[in-house]
Homo-oligomer: A and B are copies of this chain.
Amino acid sequence: MKEFMEITKALADENRVRTLYALQGRELCVCQIIEFLGLAPSTVSKHMAILKHARLVETRKEGRWIYYRPADPETSRTVQEAIRWVFRSLEKTGRYKEDMKRLKKILQVSPEVLCHPK
């Protein structure tokens, strides 16, 4: 129950949900998520910690970059169903489509360039 409530609380914020669907089928570095959400790094970090604590996402560290990806399929059924539910419920919405358009543009810029904006 506690585990389940951590998932529902993690899903109870729009920016976290948007991040979750942005991660479908790809990995994103924190700086890309910062760009995607348009929030301060500290805020994004907190959001990601909540998603990770709920086991909805996992991380991979590569140098000074940290990549987030959705939970692996071997994780709990509850988590997998949650992710699928989010995606299926929102993939047809306008917000999702706009977000995917913006994400594509962000992905065209490599993380290196995105993170060193000089």
Chain A positions within 8 Å of B, measured between CB atoms, are: 1, 4-5, 8-9, 11-12, 14, 17, 77-78, 81-82, 85-86, 88-90, 93-96
Name which residue of chain B comes closest to A95, CB basis: B1
Most buried by B among A8, A11, A12, A95: A8
Residues of B near A4 (CB, < 8 A) are 17, 86, 89-90, 93
Contact A12 B1 (CB under 8 A): no
* The 3 nearest A-B residue pairs measured at CB: A12-B12, A78-B89, A8-B11
Known contacts A85-B82, A88-B81, A89-B81, A12 near B17 by CB under 8 Å: no
8 A-B residue contacts at CB 8 Å? A4-B86, A4-B93, A5-B12, A8-B11, A8-B17, A12-B12, A78-B88, A82-B85
**Contact residues in B for A90 (Cβ distance below 8 Å):** 1, 4
Given contacts A85-B82, A85-B85, contact A5 B14 (CB under 8 A): yes
